[in-house]
Chains A and B, each alone.
Chain A
Amino acid sequence: MKALLVCEYREGKLLETSYELVAFAEKLGAEKAMVLIGSESEAPKVNGTVYLADAGKYGEYNPDVHKKIVLAAIERENPDYVAFVHSSFGWDLAPRVAASLKAAQISEIVDIVDGKFEVGVCNAKLRRTVTPKSGKAVLTIQAGAFSAAAASGAPQLERIEPADGASALEFVGYEPAEKKDVDLTRAEIIVSAGRGVGKKENVPVIAALAKAMGGELGASRPVVDAGWVEHSHQVGTTGQTVSPKLYVACGISGAIQHLAGMKKSDFIVAINKDKDAPIGEVADVLVVADVLQFAPALTAMLQK
């Protein structure tokens, strides 16, 4: 069994998540080769073949061109599986490769169970195992679900080129993240507000708890999208990935994207009305309560 792992590369750097694909291939028991649209100096430190196309020539991510490069590597390698990280790169490129091969795609794999691929359903409230029916299959793995393999080894580089460089899409440029008024990645304690706080007017209840604990205020995506809390406080794959000593999730049900951004915290407390909320899966302590009643009680006791 062979797996072709598609590295992610941005602005001159190999993304570390590429090593999660190596761990996934090991768990799958597959022989691996990798493909990188990047530079030789940034080639992943792994043993085995790395197909390399020059980023200097093909620029930043262009799905049409990158698809043709991955297809060229597939033609050489003839893998059973083609794997990506489920990221803005992977979920964009994988379906294009799958469609070109007319292969099954299985998205955001969290585990391998009895040789089947396990994925989440309904914000991970249920799980589903999926099997491909096609000869080859395209897979994307959830970021953080497979702990990155150590970067050790010397790749054997093989140059590849796309069939042609034509594209109906033009990359214009990057827009940097808004300047952060708070750097959550350095916080020792984070107290985050989720949809369960109900409305913007209730956010100060959570902010007061954060202050009483000596921590920073965090937030889940829906709370930021609703404009209750600034984006710089957002925890999750599209916000900041954090690993504080203590993380307190207030009224956060635990969508995959949020869990991926905080589950490496040393100690996790969840305050939630719903005992079955997915946040309970990662919580060291689950307080089953309405956060708007419990947070003030806890704040008052901490201030004593």
Chain B
Amino acid sequence: MKVLVCIKQVPDMESRFKANSSGNWYDEADLAFRMNEYDEYAVEQAVQLREQLGDAADVTVLSIGPDRVVEALKKALAMGCDRGVHVQDPAVSLKDPWQIASIIATYAKDKGFDLIFTGMQSQDRASAQVGVAVAEQLGYSCATTLVGFSFADGVVTAKRELEGGLKGVVKLRTPALVTCQLGLNVPRYPTLPNIMKAKKKEIQAIPVVDILKEEALAATASVYPPARKGGGIVLEGDLNDMASQLIGILKEKTAVVR
């Protein structure tokens, strides 16, 4: 059973962001990068499947980006993936989701992956397109937004998160691709022995030009901070002063605080 997990490295979302000087993405200076949160669930699910199947399974983890993404790959290897692939692309943020999907599909084609895991979206771009587009390009069956996963006899049973707490259960035949939602499992922390072991695992480097075959279908026109909504009152300063000001405002503006 061959398994592929696709991960992205993204900035910590608690950071402050500003547009870069070209105005086509955010400025990456001073940002701390980490594995995309959704992808941690994808890695965990792949590793749990590997534990279920033992040595009959082999898990490859792939990431596209500049050299810093090797850190995210190392984390995935320390969590239990068997081998890594680094598609080297310093300009990854300027590619559109279709191109990112085509890079992954070109890599995966002819490698016989039975199952591919991705996050349901990235935290920075949040297009929620790449996983599904990879499945379409490879002709795999696909289910998105998983909060439940099981595998038996070549069939994936997936629980999809819908709206308002409702879930939908589907079965898919392999080869299949699933995209993982937050809360699917509890991603493990890599242990020190596993971090050491991961250092010996192979990370294959592939220059992106070798496997990028597609032109972009969409282009970013500009990136900018959102306009401030006018009229909002901002309170700053002493805690008790702010509390009494707030109570005054609420008494005046709402009927529910008296």
Contact = CB atoms under 8 A, between A and B. Distances in A.
Contacts of A281: 226, 228-229
Interface in B180-218: 182-183, 215-218
A294 B242 contact: yes
Which of B19, B126, B221 has most A Cβ within 10 Å? B126
Interface string A223-249: 001000001000001111100011000
B234 A288 contact: yes
Contacts of A177: 164-166
A188 interface: yes
A169 B218 contact: no
Contacts of B249: 285
A237 B119 CA distance: 18
Contact of B169 (A94, A133, A172, A288): A172
B201 to A, nearest CB: 29
Interface residues on chain A, size class: 35 or more
A284 B254 CA distance: 11
Contacts of B17: 121-122, 125-126
B4 interface: no
Interface in A68-100: 86-89, 91-92, 94-96, 98-100
A123 B257 CA distance: 31
B97 interface: yes
A176 interface: yes
Interface string A263-277: 000110100001110
Interface stretch (B51-59, B67-75, B138-146): B138-146
B9 interface: no
A104 B98 contact: yes
Contacts of B228: 280-281
Contact of A282 (B26, B218, B229): B229
Given A128-B220, A246-B256, A172 B26 contact: no
A57 to B, nearest CB: 19
Nearest to A108: B126
Interface string A6-50: 000010000000000000000000000000000000000000000
Given A88-B145, A105-B97, A267 B224 contact: no
Contact of B236 (A95, A107, A267, A288): A288
> Chain B contact residues: over half helix, strand or loop, or mixed?
mixed
Interface in B1-28: 11, 13-19, 26
Interface residues on chain B, size class: 35 or more
Interface in A167-197: 167-178, 180, 188-189
A32 to B, nearest CB: 22
A123 B170 contact: no
A217 to B, nearest CB: 16
Contact of A239 (B128, B164, B173, B257): B164
Contacts of A302: 247
Contact of A285 (B97, B169, B170, B232): B232
Interface string B225-243: 1101101111110011011
Given A175-B169, A297-B243, A298-B246, A133 B256 contact: no
B123 A88 contact: no
B234 A286 contact: yes
A141 to B, nearest CB: 13
Nearest to B143: A169
A214 interface: yes
Interface of B: 11, 13-19, 26, 96-98, 101, 120-121, 123-129, 132-133, 136-137, 141-145, 157, 159-173, 176, 182-183, 215-226, 228-229, 231-236, 239-240, 242-244, 246-247, 249-250, 253-257
15 contacts: A60-B168, A64-B141, A96-B142, A105-B97, A122-B124, A127-B223, A130-B219, A130-B220, A169-B171, A189-B257, A267-B254, A278-B226, A281-B226, A286-B234, A289-B235
Q: Nearest 3 pairs between A and B by C-beta? A: A177-B165, A99-B136, A168-B141
